[in-house]
Amino acid sequence: MDIAFKCPLCEQDFRVEEALAGTEFRCPTCRKLSLVPEAEVAAAAPNVLPPGALPPPPPPLSPGSGAPAPKRPAAADAEDAQLARRLTEAYERVTAEVAKLIVGQEEVIEQLLIAIFARSHCLLEGVPGLAKTYMVKTLADALQLSFRRVQFTPDLMPADITGTDVIQEDPATGRRNLTFLKGPLFAQMILADEINRSPPKTQAALLEAMQEHSVTVGGRTYKLEQPFFVLATQNPVEQEGTYPLPEAQKDRFMFHVRVDYPTREQEREIIKRTTSAYAADVDPVITGEEVMAIQKTVRKVPVPDHVTDFVLDLVRRARPADADAPAFTKELIAWGPGPRACQQLVMGGKVRAVLRGRFHVTTEDIEALALPVLRHRIVPTFNAEAEGIKVDAIIARVLKETPRHGKSQS
């Protein structure tokens, strides 16, 4: 008996032996890697593959055993599919709940949620009064996450955010003991307001929390509550007395999100809501445990080879020292993005695909996230800054001249 199935990307028809059900199969046309389904058994056919097609790879071997690895249980695949559908539904409900209090900013909210489900962090930049703090607090309520806001100032010290050891007297015994008092970082969603106003020492303390999900105080390391997200804000207008984030710390943020002014009609609605008796409550949609389960599920979303090639071409063309970099890249970019940019583009693409009800990444997903992923990982040259060429314009040009491999369906 043979199994008949279609490639989910190019829709080419194939037939393989029933014994290969549940194994990986690479389409010879579009090179997409997918699983051979266990259903839809067709009548025996001597021609299992079209002329010129390569046979599918054999089942993977268990380490050191020489025998095929056990197939993934169908129940596990069904559970992943259910979680993916849960994410799609949760995204629609979360955006609806946030819209009760936040007018517009749909793209910003989507990027924040993508970063959360990709287990990463966001850097938000926008002028005062655009409801950045309110937006993050509303998201925390919809996701049932504990929330803390830290106002970063020039006199803020590391102990002010991580916590510190204090001497407390036990009323029963009269003994004095060192007790650790947790700082505001011990929450699931942290809003680091105007992060560039704190000195580098405090920024470094936050960097450990972002990367390791832990803080070290007095030689002891304390794990932070999971899931853990840092959403930092910057004011692009007033830069006097600020401490620009080092490139190594900016690279830890998945996205650099620009919060723009609302449209005229959106601003009209903002005035109407905030100057009247309008009130709304945000209903919780999912829990922190579900968020962590979703974070594991999105990592299983397959990425076709042509999409990976597109990511590599895009990032490497933004590096002036790369052999494939176009001439304008060497003139406009002093430093290009590192490998973490590729990782974040792929992870963001996986989450975005599931949010749109797909279980495979397309080049459209990568294109949509190129700006927020790359804009804080590219340092323009002096000539580019002197001519007033913005980083977004450079990225748009690199994106336009990057070749697309194969065909990508939404």
Whole-angstrom Cα distance, residue 118 to residue 94?
Answer: 16
pLDDT of 32 reads 65
Whole-angstrom Cα distance, residue 348 to residue 332?
Answer: 26
Q: What percent of the chain has pLDDT over 90?
A: 6
- Would the pTM of this model clear 0.85, i.e. be above it? no
Going by pLDDT thresholds of 50, 70 and 90, the confidence category of residue 23 is: low
Q: Where are the strands (E) in 59-154, listed by range? A: 122-125, 147-151
| CATH number, span 301-401 | 1.10.8.80
CA-closest candidate to residue 298, choices 51, 5, 59, 90: 90
Whole-angstrom Cα distance, residue 215 to residue 180?
Answer: 12
Average per-residue pLDDT for the chain: 78
pLDDT single digits (tens) 95-109: 888 887 888 888 888
Sequence-distant (6+) residues with CB within 8 A of 147 are: 136, 137, 140, 141, 187, 188, 189, 190, 191
Annotated domain spans of the chain = 1-42, 78-274, 301-401
pLDDT single digits (tens) 357-397: 888 888 999 999 999 999 888 888 888 888 888 888 989 98
According to CATH, the topology of domain 78-274 is Rossmann fold (3.40.50)
pLDDT of 38 reads 65
Omega cis (within 30) before 68: no
pLDDT of 47 reads 41
Structure-model confidence comparison of residues 238 and 118, the more confident one: 118
pLDDT single digits (tens) 316-346: 988 888 888 888 888 888 888 888 999 999 9
Integer CA distances (angstroms), 77 to 16, 26, 82, 160, 297, in order: 21, 19, 9, 45, 10
pLDDT of 358 reads 82
